[in-house]
Amino acid sequence: MGPPLESAWGLGAVLRGVVADIQHASKADDRHLSPRTPQQPVQRAILKQDGYFAASGLDGSMRPDSIDGHGLWFADTRFLSEYRLLLDGREPDLVDLRTEDGCLSFELAAGPLRVQRDRYVERGLHERITFHNSGPDPADADLELVFAADFAAMMAVRGVVNLPRAPAPAAQTSNGLRIGPHDDNERCTEIVIEPAGTRHRLKLAPGEKFTIDVEVMPVRGESEGFDSGLARVVASYRRWASDCASFRTDNSALNELLDQSRDDLRMLVERYPTGLYPTAGLPWFAVPFGRDGLITALQMLPTNPEVAGGVLRYLAAHQGQRIDQEREEEPGKILHEVRSGEAVERGLWPDILYGTIDATPLFLCVLAEAFDWTGDAGMVEELWPAAEAALGWCEKFGDRDGDGYIEYPGGRARNQGWKDSDDSLNHADGSVAPHPIALCEVQGYLYRGLLGMARRRPDLKTRAAQLRRRFDTDFWVAREGYVAHALDGAKRPVEQITSNPGHCLWAGILPQRRAAAVAARMLSPELFSGWGVRTLSTNEVDYDACSYHNGSVWPHDSAMAAAGLRRSGFPNEAEQVARAVLQAGMAFPERRLPELWCGTDRESDSPPESYRNSCSPQAWAAGSPFQLVTALLGLEADAGRGRLRIAPVETPLWRRLEVTGLHFAGHRIDFLVEGTSVKLGALPRGIKVDMRAS
């Protein structure tokens, strides 16, 4: 049966702590559960490769009643809902769990028997199970492999739609099982077991091993064998690492965080005809999301700009073309999410939902930023019609009352910014802010998008300047010395003190005197927890440290704030926020940044308090460390003129940082940072680097 995976693959990275991805099913249209809903922590091991992913318990078992989305999934459909390994009728105990290059290795024990389950996902689930008698005496046991498939829709498992679920009929085949209705080839799971059979009698002498291979395939095809598929998966991770810029410091924990983030993004990206696209997060959001993809692309530009090209092209290809109230589609609008499977086929959920207010102006921002880093004029030319259509949406449909601001009237989701929970937008007295809503950060995105488009349409500079002046008048709350969260339907400022103005810093819509006040407030104890910037001030009536959007810390949100602080001329404040978030990532199991964590105050010798519903891995969380390092290095790009600025700020995170293969203007740049000094490698012809300490 070939050697065990450990010798063939070279597992080496023992996880720091057990893989404990704490996640719960979302409810209704939101990506969260109410903080008042009783919750029990759930532990999950997860793998994904292209459109397929597998979620299981920490021992590798899958149970259909798990609230953590156990199963093998493809196209929003669960093709395997139960998978358990029994020895003499009992499941072995977990000993250890290892991961490397897109593969998992579960080490289990049952008396003298040691069990190693080596697993990867590649057009299905593939597993090699090795049983080893580690005792001094002969050992025997009855092995049973239990499989079931219910072909449940993801939206039904999440509780968004109501669809019946039941195990499908299974039939023995010459080499395993076929699960599914006989007349339905679309929902059919083929299981190949070698040696054949779901039951085996193990009789092992001391030191003897027995190996069995299992393949679970949602789509019929010839089995290619465990080793060849494994080689492809490992090679894909190594190619991805080579394609990405490398950041190596003298801080080993930070290096592990950066490596984990890079590998998480490899797990999440899929290749479409339009290029790469990072799916939003696992397990519930393993599909393209507009806002999430754009922010992740922005975060990754110096590290791997191929992501931005793929995201922009995909969103342009699926840009709104008509008015469709069911899908919340309008001409020029950028999508919110893409779904498939039974919920879509039965008309219970749209295939593409356009219900988001920020993705369309963000599209303009990311297109401009992508040109700054790549200098790819051909891409801008190709996507310019989509940019014009997006701007047209901002002018006509986004600004329904003609006041110059982009507003949303509500839809399937009551709130349609990135804080999309129902309770995330209230006035300071706790009352609900009525629609339509003009969010502060969305106006910032529009401002930055207008400036980007003004390179080809200079007339837009005047409109951008007008927007900036009006924003300062309408959104600035003088008695708070801060930016309003939003304007409500009566044009009243929503005066809650939130993290959203950090995005306004990044967008550059604030005058310098306002930016200074925002910077000071964001680093004050009411907003800064020590692990990042809270979504809501501790002084607000709605504050709840462990809520989804009313006091928690989101790494992408803090990363945008850090980038904004740096761009606005506050390098020390940017360093403080960046260091806090990166240290949080180093404190979490696996050195993996989750979607969010609780906003409780940082205490010495204690890690951040986990938010138990957090997606992990999650795309813009995984991209955050790269945006934070970019801010710490003071990187500014102008690829059109071949100019790159490197202005590192001193940080306790490292004394020495070696950057290899940074993407800029179609080239790869190498340099070494020690403190605030920079030593460049050989530069390509036509590239100039400005090196100035902050």
Asked if residue 653 is part of any domain, the answer here is yes
558 sits in which H/E element: helix 555-567
- Say whether both 227 and 284 belong to one domain: no
Q: How far apart are CA 548 and CA 413, in angstroms?
A: 15
- Say whether both 292 and 166 belong to one domain: no
Token pair of 645 as six digits: 């600025």
Sign of CA dihedral 36, 38, 41, 45: negative
- Say whether both 295 and 356 belong to one domain: yes
**Res 694: pLDDT:** 57
Q: How far apart are CA 529 and CA 604, in angstroms?
A: 12
Those residues whose C-beta lies under 8 Å from the C-beta of residue 125, and which sit 6 or more positions away, are 52, 54, 72, 80, 83, 119, 214, 215, 216
Q: Determine phi and psi for 597, rounding to 5 degrees.
A: -145, 170
Rama region for 661: left / alpha / beta (φ>0; ψ in -120 to 50; rest): left
Burial of 252 (0-12, 13-18, 19+ CB in 10 A): exposed
**Res 24: pLDDT:** 29
Which range of residues forms the domain containing residue 210? 5-235
- Say whether both 228 and 275 belong to one domain: no
Q: Determine phi and psi for 432, rounding to 5 degrees.
A: -70, 135
643 sits in which H/E element: strand 643-646
Asked whether 107 and 166 are in contact (CB, 8 A), the reply is: no
Last residue of a domain, one of 213, 235, 257: 235
Asked whether 489 and 428 are in contact (CB, 8 A), the reply is: no
Q: What domain count does the chain have?
A: 2
Q: Determine phi and psi for 125, rounding to 5 degrees.
A: -100, 135
Asked whether 415 and 425 are in contact (CB, 8 A), the reply is: yes
Those residues whose C-beta lies under 8 Å from the C-beta of residue 36, and which sit 6 or more positions away, are none
Q: How far apart are CA 284 and CA 263, in angstroms?
A: 19
Asked if residue 169 is part of any domain, the answer here is yes
Asked whether 318 and 335 are in contact (CB, 8 A), the reply is: yes
**Res 196: pLDDT:** 95
DSSP state of 499: S
Asked if residue 685 is part of any domain, the answer here is no
Asked if residue 693 is part of any domain, the answer here is no
Burial of 36 (0-12, 13-18, 19+ CB in 10 A): exposed
Closest residue by Cα to residue 647 from 671, 663, 666: 671
Q: How far apart are CA 234 and CA 170, in angstroms?
A: 32
- Say whether both 162 and 204 belong to one domain: yes
Is the full-model pTM beyond 0.85?
yes
Asked if residue 325 is part of any domain, the answer here is yes
Asked if residue 214 is part of any domain, the answer here is yes
Last residue of a domain, one of 206, 235, 264: 235
Question: Which amino acid, residue 303?
Answer: T
What Rg value do the Cα atoms of the chain yield, rounded? 26
User: How many beta carbons lie within 10 A of that of residue 373, not counting itself?
Assistant: 23
State the first-to-last Cα distance of the chain, in angstroms, to the nearest integer.
59
Asked whether 290 and 314 are in contact (CB, 8 A), the reply is: no
pLDDT in tens, 39-88: 334 478 999 999 999 999 999 999 999 888 999 999 999 999 999 999 99
- Say whether both 183 and 323 belong to one domain: no
- Say whether both 255 and 367 belong to one domain: yes
- Say whether both 531 and 630 belong to one domain: yes
Q: Using alpha carbons only, give the angle 393, 394, 400 rounded to the nearest 5 degrees.
A: 95
Query: 437-476 burial by CB neighbour count: b if 16+ within 10 A, else e?
Result: bbbbbbbbbbbbbbbbbbeeeeebeebbeebbeebeebbb
Q: How far apart are CA 103 and CA 47, in angstroms?
A: 7
pLDDT along the chain (694 residues), means of 10: 33 31 30 34 82 96 92 97 98 95 96 97 97 96 98 93 91 93 81 96 97 91 84 96 98 98 98 97 96 98 98 98 97 98 95 98 98 98 98 97 95 93 95 97 98 97 98 98 98 98 98 98 98 98 96 98 98 98 94 95 93 88 98 98 97 98 98 97 96 71
| CATH code for position 388 | 1.50.10.10
- Say whether both 280 and 137 belong to one domain: no
- Say whether both 229 and 157 belong to one domain: yes
- Say whether both 230 and 259 belong to one domain: no
**Res 181: pLDDT:** 83
Burial of 89 (0-12, 13-18, 19+ CB in 10 A): exposed
Q: How far apart are CA 545 and CA 4, in angstroms?
A: 46
Asked if residue 176 is part of any domain, the answer here is yes
Output the CA torsion 597→600→605→606 (10° steps): -40
Those residues whose C-beta lies under 8 Å from the C-beta of residue 289, and which sit 6 or more positions away, are 279, 280, 336, 337, 338
- Say whether both 289 and 438 belong to one domain: yes
Query: 344-368 burial by CB neighbour count: b if 16+ within 10 A, else e?
Result: beeebbbebbbbbbbbbbbbbbbbb
| CATH code for position 149 | 2.70.98
**Res 3: pLDDT:** 32
Whole-Å CA distances, 478 to 469, 472, 475, 493, 509: 15, 10, 9, 11, 17
Question: Is-cis flag, bond preceding 501, omega within 30?
Answer: no
Last residue of a domain, one of 235, 270, 296: 235
List strands edge to edge, sheet with 209-217. Answer: 93-100, 103-110, 113-121, 125-133, 209-217, 189-194, 176-179, 170-173
User: How many beta carbons lie within 10 A of that of residue 317, not counting itself?
Assistant: 11
Please give the full DSSP string across 87-148, using - where no structure is assigned: ETTBPPEEEEEEEETTEEEEEEEETTEEEEEEEEESSSEEEEEEEEE-SSS-EEEEEEEEEE
Asked if residue 574 is part of any domain, the answer here is yes
Token pair of 21 as six digits: 């991805």
Q: How far apart are CA 609 and CA 532, in angstroms?
A: 12
Those residues whose C-beta lies under 8 Å from the C-beta of residue 602, and which sit 6 or more positions away, are 529, 530, 531, 580, 608
